Amino acid sequence: MKITVCIGSSCHVKGSRQVVEKLKQLVSEKLLTDKIEFSGTFCMGKCQQGVCVSIDEEVFSVSPETCETFFETEVLKRL
């Protein structure tokens, strides 16, 4: 599975670094590092909905606060 986090300006100031850190932490806690690949992008064209995170092609709106819920409801169920 490929998770892409937008690190463009708009998402960056809404906390994309914290989102990346949190997701990576959750992934390693659940011992999923082999199954999930992370990447960054500078824009997904949905700046209003940032922080934009995509799983394969599907885009989600995530924030540092909703990161954990997103991981449980969207990431884990797709594995």
Partner 1 sequence: MRKFDTKVQHLKYKVLREVAREAWKGSLMENILDIPKIISPGKTPTMRCCVYKERAILSERVKIAMGGDKDNPNVIEVIDIACDGCPAGGYEVTSSCRGCLAHRCEDVCKRGAISFDNNHVAHIDKSKCVQCGQCAKVCPFFAIVNRKRPCQIACKVKAISIKDDLTAEIDNKKCIQCGACVYQCPFGAITDKSYILNAIELIKNSENNQKYKVYAVVAPSISSQFSYAKLGQVITGLKELGFFTVVEAALGADMVAQLESKELAEKGFLTSSCCPAFVAYVKSAFPALLEHVSHNLSPMAMLAKYIKETDENAKVIFIGPCTAKKAEAQLEEVKPYVDVVLTFEELQALFDSRDIDITSLSEDILDNASYFGRIFARSGGLSDAVAQGLKEQNIDFDLKAVACDGIEECKKALLLKSKNMLDGNFIEGMACVGGCIGGAGCLTHGQKDKAEVDKYGREAFEKTIGDAVSILNKK
Residue 17 in contact with partner 1, rule: CB under 8 A: yes
Q: Say whether residue 28 binds partner 1 (CB under 8 A).
A: no
Among 30, 32, 38, 60, binds partner 1 (CB under 8 A): 38
Residue 10 found at the interface with partner 1 (CB under 8 A): yes
By the rule CB under 8 A, 25 interacts with partner 1: no
Structure token pair of residue 3: 């998770």
- Identify which of residues 45 and 73 has a Cβ nearer to partner 1 in the complex: 45
